[in-house]
Structure 1
Amino acid sequence: MEESSFLIDIITLFNIQFNYVINFSKMATSSEDVLLQVSNVRHKKGDGTLYVMSERIGFMTNNSDTMSSCYAYTDVKMQKISSEQKQKVQLQLVFHSGESVIFQFVCPSRSDSVTNRDAVKGYLTKLLPKFQKKVNKELEEKNRMLSSNAALFQLYRDLVITKIVDAEEFWSQHAPAYINKNGASQQQIGVPGNFLVNVKPQTDGCNAIKYNLTADTIECIFRTYPAVRQKHLEYVPHKLSESEFWVKFFQSHYFHKDRMHTGTKDLFSECAKHDDQELKKELSTVEQSEVNLNAFDNTVENEGYGLDNTEASSGSNNIVSENLIKRFNHHSIMVLKATRNNTEQQDTETGGARKKIRLLNEDESCELGQSEVKKIEKTNINLSKVEQMINGVKNPKTKVRNLHTILHKANSMRDNVCYDILNYRKPPGTTYLTPSNAVSALGELTPGGLLMNGLLEDSQSLAQLVPSEIEKEFRSLYLTICELLRHFWACFPPTTPTLEEKLVRMYDALRKFHQTKLNTFENRIMVECSTLNQQLTAHLNLILNTAYDKYSNWQSKRKFPAGLPIN
């Protein structure tokens, strides 16, 4: 009996621990830690536990295994606490949207409630500024993109400010098309060969040198020396600070490399070995000419002409000079390698074999070489009228004679028509055209009439009739509608629930934009430019109605799938 009760207690304890593990796994992700856990907290008329995590704050009610409320720090604007005179010990979170939530600490003693609230307040005081800086950086980047891209800014005004699309959806779906378009047109800045020379050191008067490094200079160093970038990722900020790392870099670059043997404490000794390997690799890839000039033997095999195999011993000065030249060559190779465009190389290498330098012998003549025979492609002539080739070329005199006869006939016909018009007499009492019909016919023949469409030299085009302000607004409407329609048609065929949800959302956005923007624009045209009528927005209404018809057909197919009878 005692053993069974002992087993029951163990199973109960295991279930409690297992439930706690489940609750904890549901509460936080693998990359998020719980910093503080406070019980006896009331939120939205429910008692539970408050969890302060690394990226959000959550509340879980008692006897529950899921988080009932969770708030990200990026959405929190500020925190407020209740005054000491009030009986309730409360903590309020105010969000950027203007909403707020309240947590009330309901410990048995007021001192414990104040202690718990102050602990939560302390953690939030440390965490909120970090996320506010992150939010501020994101807002600055978005403001920069909107100010640099007029089309994106106009799209933001038409969709987000009018609340047709929320801001999160705009930046995730609509903005990348404009951002990538501008980013693709920008050219990457190259690496100058003297970027380290431009870093002008300054002495502080205490036998120390001060370097002012900019972000562009650091990026040039990373692109020229990839091994330094790897060292920076390994040591900063875990083992060294940013300033200490660059001090060691310049010490190694300007002092340690001139030594015969670098010390083991040098942080960049491995980088120097890596540079030597890269230099040997690059030199091995240099293509030689067809003729190896070193293969010719011009030495005289006599005594005293330096045929001994023993090499001359080089002094230390030669080694220093060789190291300096090697460093110059390596720097030039890495700069060229950093600015090299791989895509252009692939395009140029695919087009035929590369030409090599040919060294011709002086006794060789171009006339003695084999002449290249060009292949001429023979094509058959297709003759539609064979008799034209058989009869030959006509006599030009006959052509001139025929031309004179044609002109004579045309002049005679013109004279006959003029004689008939002058001698025409209308019979009395006959009317061919009423005055009203004549006026209407003249109206159709005037600029802007139906019979004058397409004759731009006689009438004003539609672009000339539209004022500049209306044209600017019409262009923005056109771009916005095309952007919404692009996402609308991309949802077809809606094979997943996500696409169906997006399709419904895009349809609602089109309807809302049509009612709020396009109808208002059409009413303005009717008042200010009545001559345009509905010509300006005819195409917009056409593409919108096409999208509406497509959506209605899809809705009917959803209600009545194929194979089911429709009553």
Structure 2
Amino acid sequence: MSDVLVALVRVKKRDGRVEFSATGLRWTADASPGAPTGQHPPIVVPWSTVQDQQVSSLSSPKAMIRLRLAHNATLVMEFVAESGSLEEAFEVREQAKDLIARRLRENGARGTRSNAAALCNPTEIKQRAALLAANPALKRQHTEMVNDGLISEEDFWASRRHLIAGEASKRQKTGKTSAILTDLAADNDAAGNVVKYNLNAEVIHQIFIQYPAVYRAYQGQVPDKMTETEFWGAFFKSKYFHRDRKAGHEDMFTKYEEKEKEESKGVTIDPRGIVDPLIDLTSTEEDAAVHHAKRQTTEKENPSSITIAKFNRHGAYVLDPAHAGKLQQQKAGKGYAQQTLPQKKPKAGYLDNLEDATLLDDLQNKAAPPYNPLTLDDESRYFQHAEKGTAADGSKTGKLSLMDAAEVFQATCKAPIKLDNAYPTSTTCFNVLAEVVACSDSTSDSASASSAANLASGALAAEYIPNEFKKQVYNQFHDVCELLRHFLSFKAKVAEGGGPDAERKLNKIVEKMGSKYDELVKLRESLPPHEKNLLAPLLKPFDDQLNLAFI
């Protein structure tokens, strides 16, 4: 890609051309007849003022890039092609996206990923919004850090990918219902004169799956001979809809069903490619899929074949909606010419033998991995070890028998491991805590000593601290940690030559840390006199963290 890129871009419904250079971008509006000169001045954006970019997905109807600039300003560019082709517009947009990402990385900003995953992923945006709505503390931090312009959106969420992953795991796609659609519930009015049926796309699709004749009738009647409303009205009025309870009536749908049966006579499908014959309702003792000696039966001898086929279609639809249509005898062309579908090879898991099908491989003994056998001339020496007080060369060590050596080895393995000194005692922790409290800022030495003694002995429990103060300490803890984390991050970037953008963000964060320090001072001064000596030391660690920016 060249260092300079020129593209047709529409900004605020105004066509123009944008030029991407090494220093920034410049958009110039196209001249229009009758428009006064200077009505649409050019837009110049240096790369140092661009914080990040967001792009529309490839399935979007518009090829767009949204640049987030300093001081919460934005610039939205819609890429167009001279030929009007959307594919060409997306190609130019991808080139511009990669060029912008490279320029942002060179200027120390956080560029976008130059892959198919865009920063403005609609799913991730919904997950972020759900997290902010469910967590008031996180929303407050987002408002103070991002909306105030301290850091970018991506900087804020970079360390919270685990929260987004947890939110994504909560959202699962709902499966298809396993209820059999035998009769839809109708809504009757008070007088009983009007019956209403509520249909949606899922219910209509399920009707077409369970009743292929209805789908054939829909293709043949709508919209040439009747409207969709008239078609569904005729369906619910027909005896075909209520044939599970009544039989012997003919209507439009039964004619299409007869046509379906007629055309499916020459079509053969091996059901083993769709349904396991061990659970398939049609795989009976007379089925050639299990027993090749099949006895031909007519529909009069097997009147339940239609109902069984409906259950099989519904089962395939529930287990895998994408493969539900395989049980329908699909025909190519308008004439629905008869054809013999190719026999699919049964899957490896579908076995005709009941014993082979029910034999579970994971319950069998696994074969041992290959290994080189260990051959020893004297097996007793394998269990020997130097005893205390013996020579290193083993001259004084007596030769043990195999049984004695095995007993010594087992006793060594069973000997308990002493871990008494593995962890320090709690006394050390209380001593450190008492020293911190004693050295804290307090107006009375005696009060400090008293509070230190109370904390060290554990007499001051958490329930003695006011709940309002607990909330304030909790919020201050998260705010100070967030500021300190970004301060250390941008300080390292500036030390490595991160550029003016990183230095600008660092200065903003230092300024925010100073205001946070003043806020803690006001909070400490607002404490009641009788609680000041006990609660003020809890705020001292925050002061020490904020002082890192001014040391």
Q: Which category describes the TM-score, using the shorter chain as reference length? A: 0.3 to 0.5
- Larger % of helix: which? 1
Rg larger for = 1
Relative contact order higher in (CA < 8 Å, ≥ 6 apart): 2
Give the alignment's TM-score, normalised by structure 2: 0.38
